[in-house]
Amino acid sequence: MPADLNPIDKAKFIAAKRAVGFVQDGMKLGLGTGSTAAWMVRCLAERIREEGLRVVGVPTSTRTAELAVSLGVPLSTLDEVKWLDLTIDGADEFDPSLNLIKGGGAALLQEKIVATASDQMIVITDAAKEVVQLGAFPLPVEVIPFGWQTTKALVEETLVSMDVLGRDVTLRMTGDRPLVTDESNYILDLHLNRIGNPRQLALVLNQIPGVVENGLFIDICDIVIIGHADGRAVVRDINTRTVEEDRVEFAPSDNIFTDLD
């Protein structure tokens, strides 16, 4: 175990390892995107190597696909498998109803498609992502490049009638160029501070021409697993209304740490 692994990464690893414990032989899995999801892919690969676990994964981004291939996780496409047993992914925020903001990694469109096409979605996270009300994290909205400034203006106009505290909208950049998603779209980040009615906002945003999808995941997540650096994993199940806490052994093999960013 690297000596410089920080508490946040330890917490992410704990959540990821606990989530991979839900995976059963023969499952078709949605593989999320982001730093916490990367831990999940590594833990899944370890189970495949050590236990002979037979699964097939559908990645939600190019970078997740590349990581999975490098670690020997079998992949397919959503068109090929049609439906998934389980999706495991991270989140930028989650509230008490397990509604989410996702898209900090600019993969929200594929993430939402994959999660919606799953029997169950598990979100893996650390305690810092838990909020009383969504909105502190900027809400990503994926838009087509054509007429994006007009789309931005329409989004800003729409926000005037929404229950939000802020209305600043920015185009996400990478260097001096607009960030381009895997689907060749742009991302608008909505700096709202607080979202009073996430369900309403999600529905209204998707009615705006030029908007492809937004980063509000409403009634999609079933379980949130919150990892802690001391080895605790808190499992919240929205369907059973239960909260369970157990401990996860923090003893990852050297293979898990190979080529970490």
- The overall average pLDDT reported for the chain is 95
Annotated binding site for substrate: 33-36, 89-92, 102-105, 129
Query: What is the CATH number that goes with domain 139-209?
Result: 3.30.70.260
Instruction: State the Cα–Cα distance between residues 171 and 41, nearest whole angstrom.
Output: 30
* Residue 111 annotated to the active site: yes
What's the pTM value of the predicted model, to 2 decimals? 0.94
261 pLDDT band (50/70/90 cuts)?
A: very low
| 139-209 has the same fold as 7-130+221-251 | no
Residue 137 in this model has a pLDDT that exceeds 80? yes
Closest Cα partner for 41 from 14, 59, 53?
Answer: 59
Domain ranges of the chain: 7-130+221-251, 139-209
What are the Cα distances from residue 61, in Å, to 33, 151, 198, 203? Answer: 6, 25, 25, 24
Q: Which of 111, 130, 156, 213 is catalytic?
A: 111
Residues 211-234 as b/e (b if ≥16 CB within 10 A, e otherwise) read bbbbbbbbebbbbbbbbbbebbbb
Domain 7-130+221-251 adopts which CATH fold? Rossmann fold (3.40.50)
Torsion of CA 192, 198, 201, 202, to 10 degrees: 120
What is the pLDDT, as a whole number, of residue 170?
98
Q: Write out pLDDT tens, residues 25-59.
A: 999 999 999 999 999 999 999 999 999 999 999 99
Q: Are strands 216-217 and 211-214 parallel, antiparallel or unpaired?
A: unpaired
> Residue 152: is its pLDDT beyond 60?
yes
Q: Summarize pLDDT for 77-97 with one digit per residue, the tens.
A: 999 999 999 999 999 999 999
Model confidence at 232: pLDDT above 50: yes
More confident of the two residues 4 and 126: 126
Q: Whole-angstrom Cα distance, residue 81 to residue 74?
A: 13
Q: What's the distance, Cα to Cα, between the start and end of the chain in Å? A: 15
